[in-house]
Structure 1
Amino acid sequence: MRDLINQTRLGIRSNLYYLSLYGALALPDICGALSSANGQASGEKYKKWFDKYVGEKYEGFLDGEDCYFFRCSLLHQGSSQHPKNTYGRYIFIEPSASGGNIFHCNVLNDALNIDVRVFCEDILAGAETWLAEAEKDEQFVKNFTKFMRRYENGLAPYIVGLPVIS
């Protein structure tokens, strides 16, 4: 889990905003699933997780439901527009183009402007807080055995001696 968080953060620092945004938006699903009895993601788990671990930073602008709809439209259609969203679209100004200014939580007509770095970091910080709590939970420990991870020396009996991700 820490590898996923760290790689998403590395993407932000490397100006890989698409990849970072996709990774950050997937984290509430993953965290919600790992903490659940059935180990499966759902819209309700996503919304609840976002509201608990990130929502406070976006009060009045973005809640779990809107973030979930945004996640659905971006991850499944490659779009920042979802018909059930409060906003017509989401707009991210690339930090390198902003002259050092941060444009975050601004409503522009029917669009919400969010700083991509701040947004991703907020979700990553929420995931780190959640992980510190979840690692002690029996349900997490059970579900985490299935979590995709990197195996430095392979995964016997399939491949041994080479790093693999499985």
Structure 2
Amino acid sequence: MDGFFGGLEQSLRDRNWHAVLVMSLTLPDICVKASDPSRKTNRTRYAAWFEQHVGPSYTRSVGAQQYRQEHKFLSGDDCYALRCALLHEGSTDTSEQRASDVFDSFRFFAPGADGNVNHMNQDGGKLYLMVDVFAKDMLAGARAWWDSLTPAEQTAAKARQLTVTTTDGGMAI
């Protein structure tokens, strides 16, 4: 997983926001498959992984003190719909995605020089997210998941993962 984690961290440092989004949205697929290599990843498994490992970061208590309620800003199904729209269509419009739960579209903001943050703001069927915060949340969830595996599970997962070798036979990642 080091290659995937390191690649996402490098993309964050380089402010390569498209790569950041693609890598962030594919991490759950990679983790799900590594958890159970005999089964294909799918909407249900992706959404469940997200809910367990990242979802708590997207749930907040909102409202006046006496009326506070738990509000889920991003569900596993909506994240899967976003993944499908972005990876298959290059879009953040999820209105045509069957997995879409609450949102019709997403808008991502990159950190600017002024330091303004627009994260987990909802306007009707649109969710606004900071691309760097979203990526760091996805990465933190994936790292925590990875750290929860036994050494034997990690070794088995590593054996099945992508490796890239240099043309002179050395290991690149």
Q: Common fold, TM-score beyond 0.5?
A: yes
Q: Give the percent of matched residue pairs that are identical in Structure 1 and Structure 2.
A: 31
Aligned to 1:91: 107
Could you say what secondary structure the match of 1:70 adopts? helix
Aligned to 1:33: 33
> Partners of 2:163 and 2:112 in 1: how far apart?
32
> Partners of 2:171 and 2:151 in 1: how far apart?
28
Q: Is 1:106 the counterpart of 2:121 in the alignment?
A: yes
Superposed displacement of residue 40, structure 1: 2.7
Deviates more, 1:12-21 or 1:35-44: 35-44
Specify whether residues 40 and 141 from structure 1 end up closer, same or farther in structure 2 by C-alpha distance, changes over 3 A only.
farther
Q: TM-score, normalised by structure 2?
A: 0.82
In the alignment, residue 92 of structure 1 is paired with which amino acid? F
Could you say what secondary structure the match of 2:45 adopts? helix
Superposed displacement of residue 101, structure 1: 1.3
- 1:12-161 map, 5 Å: 12-59=12-59, 60-82=72-94, 83=96, 84=98, 85=100, 86-96=102-112, 99-136=114-151, 138=153, 141-151=155-165, 161=169
In the alignment, residue 17 of structure 1 is paired with which amino acid? W
Aligned to 1:5: 5
Superposed displacement of residue 143, structure 1: 4.1
Conserved 8 A contact 1:93-1:114: yes
Residues 7-60 of structure 1 deviation map (CA, whole Å, 9 limit, x = unaligned): 101111211010011001000000001001515322211111101110001121
- Counting matched residue pairs gives 157
> Partners of 2:56 and 2:17 in 1: how far apart?
23
In the alignment, residue 62 of structure 1 is paired with which amino acid? L
> Partners of 2:18 and 2:133 in 1: how far apart?
14
Tell me the C-alpha RMSD between the 2 structures: 2.0
Conserved 8 A contact 1:34-1:40: no
Q: Which runs of 4+ in 1 moved over 3 A?
A: 135-138, 140-144, 159-165
Superposed displacement of residue 123, structure 1: 0.3
In the alignment, residue 163 of structure 2 is paired with which amino acid? R
